[in-house]
Amino acid sequence: DTAVSQTPKYLVTQMGNDKSIKCEQNLGHDTMYWYKQDSKKFLKIMFSYNNKELIINETVPNRFSPKSPDKAHLNLHINSLELGDSAVYFCASSQLDRRDTEAFFGQGTRLTVV
Amino acid sequence: AQSVTQLDSQVPVFEEAPVELRCNYSSSVSVYLFWYVQYPNQGLQLLLKYLSGSTLVKGINGFEAEFNKSQTSFHLRKPSVHISDTAEYFCAVRGNKLSFGAGTTVTVRA
């Protein structure tokens, strides 16, 4: 059983389009994250939700809007896509009050904006 | 505030040779330390973690890491690498949030 699953795995789209990436976890964790990995492999946290509440919102353009319908799902919607949005986006989950436990990651969504 | 510095961006190594990946961290709160591995075109998976107790931590695939509080380091080692160890390795600290280093690319050659 996949612990953290993201869809789609690949996404190619034109500039200016709006797209969404979905994430689901079946680990019973209360916290979910979105990370962006650029072409140099650097991982940067974008958002974090705890029990559907936004707890981390790093400096991210407001074209990016996360939505958490329940604690097992965290979706990422991106408006007016730009070339610089091309990256791999990872969803992750963990238990907030268990800092000694690791975060589990999805397989990533490779977004290419052309 | 917390930060993670991986001192080597790329480490080429021959098969069956040892490898060490260096990681230093800083934090104003107590942290837990992790090493993750990312194989090509895959997500991140946990190699090992340090919580407390023995400073030498053993992980999967023959990797181990040593926590050094005075030097605020958490270096990763493997005594003999395989071609399949070619991957990106990330050091991470979890204090108030989970922060990653910039990653170290390990390329194992025959």
Mean pLDDT, range B75-87, rounded to an integer: 97
Q: In this complex, do A105 and B49 lie within 8 Å of one another by their Cβ atoms?
A: no
Assess contact for A71 and A51: CB atoms under 8 A. yes
Looking at residue A97, its pLDDT comes to 78
> Residue B49 belongs to a domain with what CATH number?
2.60.40.10
Look at the block and give the residue holding tokens 């104003």: B28
B51 close contact with A: CB closer than 8 A:
yes
B92 found inside a domain: no
Which of A9, A10, A29, A43 to probe by mutation at the B interface, max B CB count within 10 Å? A43
B35 found inside a domain: yes
B103 found inside a domain: no
Enumerate chain A positions whose Cβ falls within 8 A of a Cβ in B.
Answer: 4, 33, 40-43, 45, 48, 56, 90, 92, 94, 99-100, 102-103, 105-108
Mean pLDDT, range A77-85, rounded to an integer: 97
Token pair for residue B43? 């997500």
B104 found inside a domain: no
Residue numbers of the domain that contains B22: 2-83
B76 found inside a domain: yes
First to last CA, chain B: 42
Q: How far apart are CA A68 and CA A50, in angstroms?
A: 9
Question: Could you give the number of structural domains in chain B?
Answer: 1
CA distance A97 to chain B (A): 10
Mean pLDDT, range A39-53, rounded to an integer: 90
Express each pLDDT in B35-80 by its tens digit: 999 999 889 999 999 988 889 999 999 999 999 999 999 999 999 9
Mean pLDDT, range A61-70, rounded to an integer: 93
Token pair for residue B11? 């480490």
Express each pLDDT in A1-42 by its tens digit: 679 999 999 999 999 999 999 999 999 999 999 999 999 899
Mean pLDDT, range B19-26, rounded to an integer: 96
Query: From the list B43, B46, B95, which residue is nearest A108 (CB)?
Result: B43
Q: How far apart are CA A13 and CA A11, in angstroms?
A: 6
Q: What is the DSSP string of B25-63?
A: EEESS--EEEEEEE-TTS-EEEEEEE-SS-SEEE-GGG-
CB count in 10 Å sphere of residue A22: 17
User: To the nearest 10°, the Cα dihedral for B74, B79, B85, B87?
Assistant: 30
B98 found inside a domain: no
Which of B97, B104, B106 to probe by mutation at the A interface, max A CB count within 10 Å? B97
Query: From the list B34, B51, B103, which residue is nearest A41 (CB)?
Result: B103
Assess contact for B47 and B88: CB atoms under 8 A. no
Q: In this complex, do A42 and B43 lie within 8 Å of one another by their Cβ atoms?
A: no
B95 found inside a domain: no
Residue from A74, A85, A108 nearest A18 by CA: A85
CB count in 10 Å sphere of residue A53: 10
B66 found inside a domain: yes
Residues of A in contact with B90 (CB under 8 A): 43
Query: From the list B43, B46, B97, which residue is nearest A102 (CB)?
Result: B46
Assess contact for A104 and A93: CB atoms under 8 A. yes
Looking at residue A105, its pLDDT comes to 95
Q: Which domains are assigned to chain A?
A: 4-113 (2.60.40.10)
Token pair for residue B18? 């040892």
